[in-house]
Amino acid sequence: MAWVIFIVILLVAGIIFLNVHSAPHQQTGEQFQRSLEKILEGKVKPLPGQPPGAQEAFQIEFQFEGYPFVYEDIPDRGFTQEVRKAYLKVRTYTDFTLYFTEKPRSTTIKTDVIIVSNIPDKPIEGAERVRAPAPLKGLDVQTNNPALANKLLANDKMVDVLLEFRNKDSRGYPSLALKVQEGTIILEFHSDEGKVPSYHALRRNPPSIEDYLGGLVLLARFIKTV
C-alpha cells in the first residue's frame, strides 16, 4: 500500500512541475515585436505623432482578407508606473461613426452625432432612432448614421462580435472596448488585465491577436457593403 501512495505522490509532483515550467511567460519588448511581425506578416515602425519621451511606441501595418489593418502599441502612464495599451484598427473607407459609452448623468448633443439617450420620446421629423439590442441596453449609442447603426445592431452576428468586447467595471456599469471612428474600427487592448481584450494577455500569448481579426473583418465588411 505504501508504494501506491509513493507513486501517487510522484505523479502529483510531476504534474505540478510540468505546469510550473510550461506556464506561458511574458516576452521582452523586442521579442514581442518580433513575434507580432511574424504573426501579422508586417514590419515594426515608429508610431508617428507621439509626444517626446514616449518610449517604444510602435505600429505594424498589415493586410488581412483584403482589409488594411494597423496594430498600435503605446505607453500609458499609470498611477505608480508606466504601463502599456494597444489598438487594433481596420479601415472601412466610409465616414461611419459608432460609439458605445456608459450612460452619463448628463450629456451634450453634438452637431453631427445623435446620442440615443437624449432623443425625446416625441419623434423628431427626419430623425431615425437607434434601437439598441437587449444585451447592449446599459450603454449609450452614439452615431452619425442611425440607419446603418440600426441595420448593424439588428444583425445577430454583428451583435455577437460586439459582445465579445463587453466589459463591466467595479460598479457593474458596462463598457465596450470597440468603437468606429470616421470609418475606422478601433479595438482597444486595455492596460487593465481584468478587461477584454487585455494587453497583458496579449503579451503573454501574441498569437491570440489572430482571434480578433475575423470579427473585425465581419464588421468592416458589413459597414462597407450595407
Task: Give the DSSP per-residue string, the chain.
Answer: -HHHHHHHHHHHHHHHHHHHHHS--PPPHHHHHHHHHHHHT-EEEEPTTPPTT-TT-EEEEEEETTEEEEEEEEEEE-SSSEEEEEEEEEE-SS---EEEEE--SS----SS-EEGGGS-SSPPTT-------GGGTTEEEEES-HHHHHHHHT-HHHHHHHHTTEEE-TTS-EEESEEEETTEEEEEEBSSTTSSSBHHHHHH-GGGGHHHHHHHHHHHHHHHH-
User: Side-chain half-sphere of 116: how many Cα atoms within 13 Å?
Assistant: 24
Per residue of the chain (226 residues), what is the pLDDT tens digit? 555 454 545 554 444 444 434 445 667 889 999 999 999 999 999 988 776 655 679 999 999 999 999 999 998 766 566 688 999 999 999 999 999 988 765 444 444 555 544 434 444 344 578 988 999 988 999 999 999 999 999 999 999 999 999 999 888 889 999 999 999 999 999 998 889 999 999 999 999 999 999 999 999 999 999 8
pLDDT at position 75: 86
Residue 97: exposure state from Cβ atoms within 10 A (0-12, 13-18, ≥19): buried
Sorted by sequence, the CB contacts under 8 Å of residue 50 that are 6+ apart come out as 57, 74
What residue spans define the domains of the chain? 27-225
Which helix (H) or strand (E) segment holds residue 76: the answer is strand 67-77
pLDDT at position 127: 52
Say which amino acid occupies 26: Q
pLDDT at position 52: 62
DSSP letter assigned to residue 146: H
Q: Can you read off the three cell numbers belonging to residue 136?
A: 447592449
Say which amino acid occupies 126: G
pLDDT at position 148: 97
Q: Kindly tell me the sign of the dihedral angle through the C-alpha atoms of 128, 133, 137, 142.
A: negative
pLDDT at position 18: 43
pLDDT at position 29: 84
